[in-house]
Amino acid sequence: MQKEVLYLLLRTGVPTTLYYLECVGKAELAPHAVILVPLPLAIGREQVQLLASLADEGKQVVICGETGSLDEDGTPYDRPALEGLLKHRRVSFVSAAA
């Protein structure tokens, strides 16, 4: 899914910067108004907090296809890590079924 999203953005001329969530920080994402997170199946709590912080600061966060069922080591969470963030007014979710 990540590859297809990137190809779509590039083909349609949308200015895009690619970062991997596990190694990007707030400073790199600061200039961007929209943060697109395709298929975050495995996500650490630190990255969830980063996305929450960005949304709190007014960035639009778009999560696609998954809500973080696993931690960064592949261990299942009791509840998806991004579930609470989906209620934030600056966060949108696009399901894989859409």
Kindly report the pTM of this predicted structure.
0.89
Question: How many alpha carbons fall within 13 Å on the CB side of residue 55?
Answer: 21
What distance, in Å, lies between the first and last C-alpha atoms of the chain?
13
CA–CA separation, 34 and 30 (whole Å): 10
Q: What percent of the chain has pLDDT over 70?
A: 98
**Position 98 confidence tier, pLDDT thresholds 50, 70, 90:** low
Amino acid letter, 14: V
**Position 53 confidence tier, pLDDT thresholds 50, 70, 90:** very high
Given a cut of 90, whether residue 4 has pLDDT beyond it is no
Given a cut of 70, whether residue 69 has pLDDT beyond it is yes
Given a cut of 90, whether residue 7 has pLDDT beyond it is no
